[in-house]
Amino acid sequence: MSSAASASRTLTQRYVLALALIAATSVTAYGVLSTLIEEQRDSALAINVSGRQRMLSQRTALFAVRVATATTAAAREAHRAKLRALTGVLGRANEGLVHGDPSVGLPGDPPPHLRALYFGPTDLYARVERYAHTLRTIADSPSPSLEDPSVANVLADSPRLLADLNRAVSAYEDHANERTDFLHRTEGFLVAFTLLLLFAEAHLIFRPLVGQVRASLERIEAQSEILREREQSMRLVLNSTGDGLVLLNGDGSLGKIRSTVVRGWFGEGLPVWAGLFPEDPVKREEFALAFDLIADDAMPFEVIVDQMPKRMNRRGRTYDLELRRIERSNDAHLLLIIRDVTAELAHEQAARDAKELVKIIELYTRDRGGFVEFLGEMDRRLTQLQIDGRPRHEQLRTLHTLKGSAAIFHFMDFATRCHALESELESEQIVAAQSYVELDDQWRRALGRIEAFIVDTGASDVLDVTRQDYDELVEWVRVHYANADLLCMLRQWRHMPARRRLDRLRQHAVRLGEALGKRIEVTVDDRQLRIPPGYLEDFWPSLVHVVRNAVDHGLELPAEREAAGKPPEGHISVSASLGTEFTVRIEDDGRGIDWARVREKAAQRGLEVHSESDLVDALFEAGLSTRDEVTELSGRGIGMSDVLAQCEHHSGRVEVQSRPGRGAAFVFHFPAPTTAFTQDLAGPRV
For residue range 338-354, list pLDDT tens digits in order.
887 888 888 777 777 77
Comparing 45-59, 233-247, 546-560, 617-631, the range with the smallest average pLDDT is 233-247
CATH classification of the domain holding 552: 3.30.565.10
Please report whether residue 432 resides in a domain: yes
Same domain, 439 and 513: no
- Could you tell me if 13 and 73 lie in one domain? yes
d(CA 391, CA 645): 14
> Is a pLDDT exceeding 90 seen at residue 589?
yes
Check pLDDT > 80 for residue 510.
yes
Strands 530-531 and 663-671: unpaired
**pLDDT of 203-245, one tens digit each?**
555 555 455 556 667 777 777 676 666 656 555 555 555 567 7
Same domain, 522 and 582: yes
Would you tell me the crossing angle of helices 149-201 and 124-140 to the nearest 10 degrees? 130
Q: Clarify whether residues 104 and 200 are in a common domain.
A: yes
Better-predicted residue by pLDDT, 619 or 237:
619
What CA–CA distance (Å, rounded) separates 363 from 375? 13
Residue 637 vs residue 358, higher pLDDT: 358
Per-residue pLDDT reduced to its tens digit, 172-196: 677 777 777 777 777 677 777 777 7
Q: Where are the alpha helices (DSSP H) in 202-269?
A: 207-240
Q: What is the CATH number of the domain that holds 293?
A: 3.30.450.20
Asked whether residue 235 is domain-assigned, the answer is: no
User: Count of domains in the chain?
Assistant: 4
d(CA 386, CA 486) in angstroms, rounded, equals 47
The parent domain of residue 328 ranges over 241-340
Give the burial string for 376-397 (b: 16+ CB within 10 Å, else e): ebbeebbeebeeeeeeeebbbb
Whether residues 251 and 218 fall in one domain: no
What pLDDT score does 584 carry? Answer: 94
Q: Rounded distance, CA 641 to CA 605, Å? A: 15
What is the reported pTM? 0.42
Mean pLDDT along residues 532-536: 78
Each residue's pLDDT tens digit, 302-329: 888 888 888 888 777 888 888 888 765 4
Above pLDDT 70, what percent of the chain? 72
Among 415, 439, 462, which residue terminates a domain? Answer: 462
Q: Could you tell me if 216 and 106 lie in one domain?
A: yes
- Mean pLDDT score, 138-147: 76
| Arithmetic mean of pLDDT over the chain | 75
Handedness of CA 196, 198, 204, 208 (dihedral sign): negative
Is residue 108's pLDDT more than 50? yes
Helix (H, G, I), strand (E, B) or coil at 332: strand
End position of a domain, from candidates 177, 194, 225: 225
pLDDT band for position 40 (cuts 50, 70, 90):
low
Q: Output the pLDDT for position 4.
A: 47
Q: Are residues 371 and 503 in the same domain?
A: no
Confidence check: pLDDT of 564 > 80: yes
* Lowest-pLDDT range of 426-430, 599-603, 641-645: 426-430
Instruction: Quote the CA–CA distance of 156 and 270 in Å, as a whole number.
Output: 33
Same structural domain, 84 and 220:
yes
> Quick one: pLDDT at residue 459?
45
Give the DSSP letter of residue 553.
I
Same domain, 536 and 626: yes
Domain membership flag for residue 628: yes
Lowest mean pLDDT among 261-275, 279-293, 609-623, 667-681: 667-681
Shared-domain flag, residues 136 and 220:
yes
* pLDDT reading at 260 higher than 50: yes
**Residue 392 located in a structural domain:** yes
Please determine, for residue 580, whether its predicted confidence score (pLDDT) is greater than 80: yes
Least confident of 105-109, 156-160, 257-261, 571-575: 257-261
563 and 443 within one domain: no
Which of 300, 322, 340 terminates a domain? The answer is 340
Domain contains 486: no
Residue 471 lies in a domain: no
Through-space distance between the first and last CA atoms of the chain, rounded to whole angstroms: 145
Specify whether 120 is located in the same domain as 102. yes
Over residues 498-512, mean pLDDT: 86
